[in-house]
């Protein structure tokens, strides 16, 4: 199995650097061979960019893939959107000789070539398939006796024919990685529903975007959980910062802590909330932090 290169994407280093730190701490603690992918650009985003200019989308994605090919490492993503773009571009270019030739024509101008000899991994998919819940459990120093609402997000599961991650209607792999930490993954209505952020909706139609988030948050609130856990920084921003935007617009207060999986994993591995950047989130809940630290 190849080593990994960590693709950070845009939102993590710019909006949630705590997720970056949490990811690096967890990978090191679990002795997973991963180094940061240097010189990477935006993936670019799979929704709007791909819809308007597929050729440029492929060329930019291919450049990122080639950076990791030159290291002979598979790419590890910590964002559903980055995973969607890079995995789909990698598959398309491996299987379509016409598009591969066209894309390599662009890459030749910067002295690079797509060869198609690596894979693109998502951290949840990688931990479940390659490490496994039992092995993850063996690293735990602080079992988490908490109730968690898992948010899968759209691009991790779809298109289902390409993801090969089991049922996209009732997936279980993310839940299993939650429960191996000692936590309870709580089922709730509309669990696989979109957070409302993707496809340019959050930017172009903020009110509609927040209505979708509000619906999901209301379902989660009714499930009596301690926190939401996601695997995508854009979903993270929508469900975290979105709560404050909803409060300002409607007066409704949810006050539900939102964590990326690597932050939850980091807590179970014994790292402090501050080390994992949980204090940098918009929603801060000292009650939740106290419950985790006192277990």
**Distances 16 to 85, 176, 187, 233 between C-alpha atoms, Å:** 20, 25, 27, 7
Domains 4-123 and 132-293 share a fold: no
Per-domain residue ranges for the chain? 4-123, 132-293
- Residue range 11-25: mean pLDDT, rounded: 96
CA distance 142 to 127: 19
> What is the CATH topology of the domain spanning 132-293?
Rossmann fold (3.40.50)
Confidence check: pLDDT of 161 > 70: no
Q: Flag the least confident range among 120-134, 197-211, 237-251.
A: 197-211
Q: Is the distance from CB of 256 to CB of 283 less than 8 angstroms?
A: yes
Predicted pLDDT at 171: 87
Q: What is the CATH number of domain 4-123?
A: 1.20.1050.140
Predicted pLDDT at 159: 66
**Distances 63 to 55, 274, 276 between C-alpha atoms, Å:** 12, 35, 30
Predicted pLDDT at 164: 67
- Residue range 272-294: mean pLDDT, rounded: 88
Q: Flag the least confident range among 17-21, 196-200, 218-222, 241-245.
A: 196-200
- Residue range 77-99: mean pLDDT, rounded: 96
Across the strands, what pairs with 7?
77
pLDDT bracket for residue 155 (50, 70, 90): confident
Q: Flag the least confident range among 30-34, 94-98, 159-163, 289-293.
A: 159-163
pLDDT bracket for residue 47 (50, 70, 90): confident
CA distance 54 to 56: 6
Torsion of CA 49, 150, 192, 130, to 10 degrees: 70
- What is the per-residue pLDDT across 226-261, written as a single tens digit (0 to 9) for each? 999 999 999 999 999 999 999 999 999 999 999 999
Angle between helix 97-108 and helix 54-69 axes, rounded to 10 deg: 70
Sign of the CA dihedral 17, 20, 26, 31?
negative
pLDDT bracket for residue 198 (50, 70, 90): confident
Confidence check: pLDDT of 166 > 80: no
What's the mean per-residue pLDDT of the chain?
A: 92
C-alpha Rg value of the chain to the nearest Å: 19
Q: Flag the least confident range among 143-152, 167-176, 256-265.
A: 167-176
- Residue range 140-168: mean pLDDT, rounded: 82
């Amino acid at each position: 199995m190849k080593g990994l290169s960590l693709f950070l994407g845009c939102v993590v280093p710019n909006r949630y650097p705590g997720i970056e730190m949490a990811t690096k701490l967890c990978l090191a603690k679990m002795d997973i061979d991963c180094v940061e992918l240097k010189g990477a650009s935006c993936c670019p985003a799979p929704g709007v960019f791909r819809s308007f200019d597929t050729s440029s989308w492929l060329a930019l994605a291919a450049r990122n893939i080639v950076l990791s090919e030159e290291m002979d490492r598979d790419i590890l993503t910590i964002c559903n959107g980055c995973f969607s773009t890079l995995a789909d571009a990698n598959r398309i270019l491996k299987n379509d000789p016409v598009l591969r030739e066209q894309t390599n024509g662009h890459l030749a101008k910067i002295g690079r070539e797509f060869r198609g000899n690596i894979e693109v991994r998502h951290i949840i998919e990688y931990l479940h398939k390659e490490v496994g819940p039992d092995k993850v459990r063996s690293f735990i120093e602080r079992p988490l006796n908490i109730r968690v609402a898992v948010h899968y997000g759209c691009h991790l599961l779809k298109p289902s024919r390409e993801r090969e991650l089991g049922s996209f209607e009732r997936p279980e792999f993310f839940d299993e990685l939650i429960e191996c930490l000692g936590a309870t993954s709580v089922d709730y209505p509309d669990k696989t529903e979109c957070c409302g952020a993707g496809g340019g909706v959050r930017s172009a139609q903020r009110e509609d975007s927040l209505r979708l988030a509000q619906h999901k948050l209301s379902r989660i609130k009714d499930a009596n959980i301690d926190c939401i856990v996601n695997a995508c920084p854009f979903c993270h921003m929508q469900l975290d910062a979105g709560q404050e935007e909803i409060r300002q617009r409607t007066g409704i207060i949810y006050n539900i802590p939102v964590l990326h999986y690597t932050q939850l994993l980091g807590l179970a591995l014994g790292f402090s909330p501050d080390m994992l950047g949980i204090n940098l989130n918009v929603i801060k809940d000292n009650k939740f932090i106290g419950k985790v630290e006192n277990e």
